[in-house]
Amino acid sequence: MSGVVDRRNSWEVADLKNEEQRLSVQWGDGAQSHYPWSWLAEHAAAGVATDKQLKLAVPKHLWDQSFQSTLPRMDYEALLTRSGKLQLCTYLERYGLAFVSGLGVAEGTVDKVGNYIGHVRVTNYGAIFDVKDDGAKATNLAFTNQRISAHTDNPYRDPFPGIQMLHCLSCAEEGGATLFTDGFSVAQRLKSLDSSAFHLLSSIEHPYEYRDPDAAVLLRASVPVIKLCNEEVERVTFNNRSAAPLQHEELQRYYEAWALFDRLANSMEFTVKAHLRSLES
């Protein structure tokens, strides 16, 4: 089972009204919010990070295969405390990855845990996406026992997933390992190997698309494979199966850069492996 946790406000705005004393917001789910202009002015000023606050920010740690021996782990009981929630959020901010053991196998647990640290977003998949092997009846690669290469999920979604959570309810007798790759680390290596390839993947927005005619769902978004903010990597978006056709004058060079990123992301040098069942022991 998996779910998407968003620690940002992910609601869509249906309507804004600029009123004399306040700003009124009509949200996509029908809820309404009203913000006095004085309150907005006060909080806009408070939202500017000071030098002291920036120094307190959790530094990111980029990792590779050597991270295998020091994967960040914690017990579910610890997560029930304020310090435990803070620890999990710190792990996610620093490494982009964390494991929680002792969850049991009750359905819906991933939804409960996600709401401990944020808001579990309800998407076209619902709040929880069940991942299971449907064999020949599978309509999604996630519903098979085939290996899935390194990728970021839901690249066609805007806003994109903040945190994705996986909860193992049952596992195969053999195999079933989950592979993780640090896309930021891969981007850094790409930049050192081929700055031109890095520039192409960070400057050209790639379209991604998801279609489900039976459910009347069409999702599209365009974003660079490597999104930068102040010359630093802010986000990695890479998914071969959801990539839509790209039109660009440097198409061959772009896809050569894409292929190089793909090779790096799927190399053992940048991959750690976890059998989720072992984390319950």
Q: What is the pLDDT of residues 22-32, one digit of tens each?
A: 888 888 777 78
Q: What is the pLDDT of residues 162-201, one digit of tens each?
A: 899 999 888 777 777 899 999 999 999 999 999 999 999 9
The predicted pLDDT at position 54 comes to: 52
For residue 108, is it left (φ>0), alpha (ψ between -120 and 50) or beta?
left
* Nearest-angstrom CA–CA distance, 131 and 1: 6
Of 140 and 93, the structure prediction assigns the larger pLDDT to 93
The domain limits of the chain are 12-39, 60-280
* Architecture of the domain defined by 60-280: 4-Layer Sandwich (3.60)
Write the burial class of residue 22 (CB in 10 Å: 0-12 exposed, 13-18 middle, 19+ buried): middle
Write the burial class of residue 176 (CB in 10 Å: 0-12 exposed, 13-18 middle, 19+ buried): middle
pLDDT over 60 (residue 237): yes
| Confidence tier at 251 by pLDDT (50, 70, 90) | very high
User: What is the rounded end-to-end Cα distance, in angstroms, of the chain?
Assistant: 19
The predicted pLDDT at position 89 comes to: 93
**pTM for this model (two decimals):** 0.78
Mean pLDDT of 87-108: 93
